[in-house]
Amino acid sequence: MAEHPVALVDICRALVNQELVYYYQPIISLITGKICAAEALIRWKKEDESILLPGEFIPLAEEKGLINDITREMLPVLMKDIRTFIPQLEPDFYVSVNLSEKDITDDSLSTIFEREFSQNGISSSRVCAEITEKVFMPLNEKGAANIFKLSDQGIKIALDDFSAGHSTLENLTNLPISVLKLAMKITQLAPSTRNDFRLLRHLVSLAHQLNLDTIAEGVETKEEFNLLTSTGCTATQGFYFSHPLPLEDFQKLLTNQPSWSEYPFGLEYLAQIDHIDFRRDIIREALTIHTNPDPNARKRALKRLPDLDPDSCLMGKWFNNINWQWHEKADLEELNKLHQIFHDKSRLLMSAASKNQTRTEINKLIDELTEISLQLMDNLQNISIIGIQNHYEED
Ligand code: C2E
Ligand code: MG
Ligand code: MG
pLDDT over threshold 90, residue 325: no
Q: In which residue ranges of the chain is CATH 3.20.20.450 found?
A: 8-262
Pocket test for ligand 1, best of 23, 62, 95, 98 (most atoms within 8 A of CB): 98
Q: Lowest mean pLDDT: which of 33-37, 171-175, 277-281, 352-356?
A: 171-175
Question: What's the confidence (pLDDT) of residue 302?
Answer: 94
- Is the C-beta atom of 42 inside 6 A of ligand 1? yes
Between 133 and 333, the more confident residue is 333
pLDDT per residue over 215-231, tens digit each?
Answer: 999 999 999 999 999 99
- Rounded to whole angstroms, the Cα distance separating 387 from 135 reads 40
Ligand 1 atom at shortest distance from the alpha carbon of 237: 15
Q: Which fold has domain 8-262?
A: TIM Barrel (3.20.20)
pLDDT over threshold 90, residue 89: no
Ligand 1 atom at shortest distance from the alpha carbon of 54: 30
pLDDT over threshold 70, residue 2: no
Pocket test for ligand 1, best of 41, 217, 221 (most atoms within 8 A of CB): 41
Q: How confident is the model at residue 134 (pLDDT cuts 50, 70, 90)?
A: confident
121 CA from centroid of ligand 3 (Å): 28
- Is the C-beta atom of 54 inside 6 A of ligand 1? yes
41 CA from centroid of ligand 1 (Å): 6
- Rounded to whole angstroms, the Cα distance separating 50 from 123 reads 34
Question: What's the confidence (pLDDT) of residue 5?
Answer: 77
Residues 21, 43 contacting (CB under 8 angstroms): yes
Nearest-ligand number for the alpha carbon of 53: 1
Q: How many CB atoms lie within 10 A of CB 363?
A: 11
Residues 4, 20 contacting (CB under 8 angstroms): no
Pocket test for ligand 1, best of 217, 220, 223, 225 (most atoms within 8 A of CB): 217
Q: In which residue ranges of the chain is CATH 1.20.120.1730 found?
A: 267-394
pLDDT per residue over 139-160, tens digit each?
Answer: 788 889 999 999 999 999 999 9
If you average pLDDT over each of 67-71, 135-139, 292-296, which comes out highest? Answer: 67-71
- Is the C-beta atom of 128 inside 6 A of ligand 1? no
Q: How confident is the model at residue 321 (pLDDT cuts 50, 70, 90)?
A: confident
- Is the C-beta atom of 58 inside 6 A of ligand 1? yes
Question: What's the confidence (pLDDT) of residue 171?
Answer: 82
- Average pLDDT score over residue span 279-291: 96
Question: What's the confidence (pLDDT) of residue 395?
Answer: 66
- Rounded to whole angstroms, the Cα distance separating 322 from 13 reads 51
Q: Lowest mean pLDDT: which of 163-167, 206-210, 340-344?
A: 163-167
- Average pLDDT score over residue span 190-194: 92
- Average pLDDT score over residue span 55-59: 96
Q: Which fold has domain 267-394?
A: Four Helix Bundle (Hemerythrin (Met), subunit A) (1.20.120)
Burial of 368 (0-12, 13-18, 19+ CB in 10 A): middle
Q: pTM of the entire structure?
A: 0.93
Question: What's the confidence (pLDDT) of residue 166?
Answer: 62
Q: How confident is the model at residue 339 (pLDDT cuts 50, 70, 90)?
A: very high
pLDDT over threshold 60, residue 1: no
Q: How confident is the model at residue 264 (pLDDT cuts 50, 70, 90)?
A: confident
pLDDT over threshold 90, residue 131: yes
Question: What's the confidence (pLDDT) of residue 3?
Answer: 62
Opening angle at CA 240, ends 387 and 87, nearest 5: 90
Q: Lowest mean pLDDT: which of 95-99, 140-144, 365-369, 374-378?
A: 140-144
- Average pLDDT score over residue span 378-393: 88
218: left (phi > 0), else alpha (psi -120 to 50), else beta? left
pLDDT per residue over 233-263, tens digit each?
Answer: 999 999 999 999 999 999 999 999 899 987 8
Question: What's the confidence (pLDDT) of residue 186?
Answer: 93
- Is the C-beta atom of 59 inside 6 A of ligand 1? no
- Is the C-beta atom of 244 inside 6 A of ligand 1? yes
Q: How confident is the model at residue 378 (pLDDT cuts 50, 70, 90)?
A: very high
Opening angle at CA 259, ends 262 and 36, nearest 5: 95
Tell me the pLDDT of the chain averaged across its residues: 92
Cα R_g (the chain), whole angstroms = 24
Q: How many CB atoms lie within 10 A of CB 43?
A: 17
Q: How confident is the model at residue 54 (pLDDT cuts 50, 70, 90)?
A: very high
Q: What is the 3-state secondary structure (H, E, C) of the chain?
A: CCCCCCCHHHHHHHHHCCCEEEEEEEEEECCCCEEEEEEEEEEEECCCCCEECHHHCHHHHHHCCCHHHHHHHHHHHHHHHHHHHHHHCCCCCEEEEEECHHHHCCCCHHHHHHHHHHHHCCCHHHEEEEEEHHHHCCCCHHHHHHHHHHHHHCCEEEEEEECCCCCCCCHHHHCCCCEEEECHHHHHHCCCCHHHHHHHHHHHHHHHHCCCEEEECCCCCHHHHHHHHHHCCCEECCCCCCCCEEHHHHHHHHHHCCECCCCCHHHHHHHHHHHHHHHHHHHHHHHHHHHCCCHHHHHHHHHHCCCCCCCCCHHHHHHHCCCHHHCCHHHHHHHHHHHHHHHHHHHHHHHHHHCCCCHHHHHHHHHHHHHHHHHHHHHHHHHHHHHHHHHCCCC
pLDDT over threshold 70, residue 165: no
- Is the C-beta atom of 41 inside 6 A of ligand 1? yes
Residue from 172, 160, 86 nearest 129 by CA: 160
- Average pLDDT score over residue span 186-197: 93
Residues 305, 282 contacting (CB under 8 angstroms): yes
Question: What's the confidence (pLDDT) of residue 164?
Answer: 61
